[in-house]
Amino acid sequence: MAYLLDANVFMQAKNLHYGFDFCPAFWDWLTRKNAEGAPYSALKRWPMKSKPETTS
């Protein structure tokens, strides 16, 4: 089974429920799945606009 993960998965996991010291099994699982080539991540990041476009 393949998994599509974005950066938010890693940030929220670390900051909320799966801290490195609290739940190392989650991070071990990610390491194992990475070795198997199972997790995928979106590589292209769309540019964000600094200001909304206005029409006159």
Quote the pTM value.
Answer: 0.60
Instruction: Tell whether the torsion through CA atoms of 53, 50, 45 and 8 is positive or negative.
Output: negative
Write phi, then psi, for 5 (nearest 5 degrees): -115, 145
Would you say residue 55 lies in a domain?
Answer: no
Residue-range definition of the domain harbouring residue 15: 3-37
User: How many residues can be counted in the chain?
Assistant: 56
pLDDT digits (tens, 9 = 90+) for 12-26: 888 998 888 889 998
pLDDT digits (tens, 9 = 90+) for 1-56: 777 888 888 888 889 988 888 899 988 988 888 888 777 776 555 555 555 555 65
Look at the chain and report how many structural domains it folds into.
1
